[in-house]
Amino acid sequence: MSSLKVHSSKILDIYSASSETELLLPIVPGGISAGFPSPALDFVDLSIDLNKHLIKHPAATFYGLVKGSSMQDAGIGNGDLLVIDKSIEPADGKVAVCYIDGEFTIKRIKIEENTCWLLPANEDYNPIKITPENDFLVWGIVTHVIKSF
């Protein structure tokens, strides 16, 4: 990954995404059962390029390395790698990287009639109500979360 770190904070490190390289990896056709085991399938020569699968808008895509636990109940934890697309319009219910009062944060957007909220997915954190006094923008929409085990 030839990425450039474009931001670092206590919440998130952000890197540019490069989709210029190609790396085909084998993929199991038809998916892998997460329930009862299925009979073994004959090997089929299929492959996937994660750059093409995960990055739909290369010029607007960034990676973010999560620091913290405010979104853990949404499956986003400390150390996870986010794929962030700045070309997607913010919408109610989307998980977004937001810039508020000089800091980046990752939260779910809740849009009410005249109010925007940033909702954590961890009861130890409080929702953030966006007011006209806040320096605020939705920086990008999270499209994928990559975890390590």
Give the catalytic positions in this structure: 70, 107
**What is the spatial distance between Cα 103 and Cα 64, in angstroms, rounded to a whole number?**
14
Instruction: Yes or no: say if 136 and 115 are a contact pair by the CB < 8 Å rule.
Output: no
CA 62 – CA 95 distance, rounded (Å): 15
Dist CA 76 CA 82 (whole Å): 9
Which position has the token pair 């319009």?
89
Token readout for 99 is 């810039």
Q: Please give the C-alpha separations between residue 148 and each of 11, 15, 40, 120, 132, in angstroms, as whole numbers.
A: 18, 18, 26, 22, 39
